[in-house]
Amino acid sequence: MFGTFQQTQLRIEVDASARAIGDSLLLPRELRKWLFPQNLDSALPERLQEGVTFSTWLGPVAVYHQVQIANDHCLRLLLSKGIDGYHEWYWGNGWVQSRLEGISLLPLNLGHSLSLYRLREFVAVRERDR
């Protein structure tokens, strides 16, 4: 893999329940709504679970994901191709924490910050509309 080793870790407050955050991360139909501009495989199960593999694309760059852990408070993805590394998510009522490490030509810190911002906005609006 070409690129440089990068790591980023963020923890933010989110005006949402642990369940709303978890649904936004573990349910592909919800994940697709806030992950833009990345695109996900169309054939995914209703809920991410250990062993599931899928791809996302950011323009022409594909990133392959293998779900290592998926439960009510944690999601861990092993990444390859566009990013060789891993992405972990932990959450609870009112917070989400994410850690991304890997070798890539992509600017991981910028993408990581943007994805957490989009998740926070998505779940906050979702919680208000309930």
- Residue-wise pLDDT for 74-93, tens only, equals 999 999 999 999 999 999 99
Domain range list for the chain: 4-128
Cα end-to-end distance, the chain, whole Å: 44
Give alpha helix (H) positions in 50-106: none
Q: Classify 58 in phi/psi space as left (phi over 0), alpha (psi -120 to 50) or beta.
A: beta
Which 3 state secondary structure label does DSSP give 110?
A: helix
12-67: per-residue pLDDT in tens? 999 999 999 999 999 999 999 998 778 888 789 999 999 999 999 988 889 999 99
Angle CA 8–9–11, to nearest 5: 150
- CATH code assigned to 4-128: 3.30.530.20
pTM: 0.92
